[in-house]
Structure 1
Amino acid sequence: MATPLDDQALDQLFRTARTFNHYRDEPVGEDTLRAIWELMKMGPTSANQLPARLVWCVTDEAKATLAAACSDSNRDKVLKAPVSVILGMDVEFHEHLPELFPHVDAKSWFDGNRELREASAFRNSSLQGGYLILAARALGLDMGPMSGFDAGAVDKAFFADTPAVRTNFIATLGYGDPATLHPRSPRPAFETFNRLA
């Protein structure tokens, strides 16, 4: 049986963790990006679909290309972050299921049904996006997930060679600068958005 995490770990992952738009001038190396992937890929998805496809924008050129597809309020965030990441979703994820979910013919569930694949790719890549954030926080980093971008332009710039992949969301990554934080936004009580049935 697993042991509950201690308060320090829960704080780092949830209670005192924050979304950052500004980061310290401290690089994030490829080894750290690989460590994030090694954690996030272990998070559960339906039938181990793993439809997320990540592009880690680490060069100035890649960040500039991504920033050009962002809203005015997000461009500077992308340009100044140590890393910006695009989380895409592969609607042809089912082609990998014979390897990723070998004990059942799960590929046949999705063959010929693009609508089902798109819904499943969006749902499960979004789950993986949550695991991405938690993995980064677990390794001492901070993230700033965002909307506010032209998904078609991002797809054209970064996924032109893989047309089955479409952008789900983008985020910045680094070591957050706490001096730039505003007060935490409120969170509702259990009773506000929950009910027991």
Structure 2
Amino acid sequence: MTDTDLTTADLAAYEKEFAPSLVVPNETADLLFRSAQTGYAFSDEPVTDEQMRAVHDLIKWGPTAMNSQPLRIVLVRTPGARERLVEHMSGNNKARTASAPLVAVLAADVDFHEELSRVFPALPNARDKFPDESARAAMAHTSAVLQAGYFIVGVRAAGLVAGPMAGFDVDAVSQEFFSDGRHRAFLVVNLGHATAESYRPRLPRLDFDEVVTTA
């Protein structure tokens, strides 16, 4: 049998037989995970506000504790803001941040409870439920980091490349871009379109049996 002898039904049956245990197409799984990599360089093509709005409209559905949604994002676009951010980046991250078409600063809102009654109607007196600031900050950080993972996947879903970095002066960046002192920056993400120089050779990942046990 040659390729031209295969019918659409034949191809569908073949794909079903050898498909993994996923409900999304292989192309989608490749885009979001298997073929996606951290970006270290980008083309000059800009990242638009429309693209970032589309990313947010997708990732906002990700889970957070009590629907708290503590992630806050500053999109660094102006030259002045870029210079202030680069100053606080570490080592090679300075050049990467300076050259990326768009940079996002991700932070956790320690005062997420101020808006919790609106996004979690079952908790009308949310402000009174979180008197312990340290516990509130820990909850905010955990859920914001969870949202950051969705943010990176959302960026990939928009056909963009993400370069997340933790190498920066956290206190300085938090003060520079969230001067109210109620937000804690935890990740800086370079964003753009891929080029041939975007990626490093891919490193291996741990296998299932090295990660997962059954209790």
The aligned counterpart of 1:185 is 203
The aligned counterpart of 1:21 is 40
The answer to whether structure 1 residue 164 and structure 2 residue 182 are counterparts is yes
Give yes or no for contact 2:41–2:197 (8 Å, CA) kept in 1.
Answer: no
Equivalent AA in structure 1 for residue 67 of structure 2: N
Deviations 1:40-91 (A, max 9, x none): 1111111110001100011222111111000121001111000011001111
* 1:49-60 aligned within 5 A: 49-60=68-79
Q: Structure 2: how far apart are the matches of 1:65 and 1:110?
A: 37
Q: Structure 2: how far apart are the matches of 1:79 and 1:110?
A: 42
Equivalent AA in structure 1 for residue 36 of structure 2: A
- Structure 1 unaligned regions, length at least 5: none
* 1:11-160 aligned within 5 A: 11-105=30-124, 107=126, 110-160=129-179
**Residues 49 and 186 of structure 1, relative CA distance in 2, 3 Å threshold:** same
**Residues 139 and 180 of structure 1, relative CA distance in 2, 3 Å threshold:** closer
Secondary structure in structure 1 of the residue aligned to 2:206:
coil
Give yes or no for contact 1:54–1:85 (8 Å, CA) kept in 2.
Answer: yes
Q: Report the Cα offset of residue 106 of structure 1.
A: 6.8
Q: Which runs of 4+ in 1 moved over 3 A?
A: none
**Residues 120 and 106 of structure 1, relative CA distance in 2, 3 Å threshold:** farther
Give yes or no for contact 2:97–2:190 (8 Å, CA) kept in 1.
Answer: yes
TM-score, with structure 2 as normaliser: 0.86
Q: Structure 2: how far apart are the matches of 1:168 and 1:106?
A: 28
Q: Report the Cα offset of residue 38 of structure 1.
A: 1.2
Q: Report the Cα offset of residue 176 of structure 1.
A: 1.9
Secondary structure in structure 2 of the residue aligned to 1:179:
coil
Q: Report the Cα offset of residue 104 of structure 1.
A: 3.0
TM-score, with structure 1 as normaliser: 0.94
Q: Report the Cα offset of residue 177 of structure 1.
A: 1.7
Q: Structure 2: how far apart are the matches of 1:149 and 1:130?
A: 19
Equivalent AA in structure 2 for residue 166 of structure 1: R
- Structure 2 unaligned regions, length at least 5: 1-21
Equivalent AA in structure 2 for residue 140 of structure 1: G
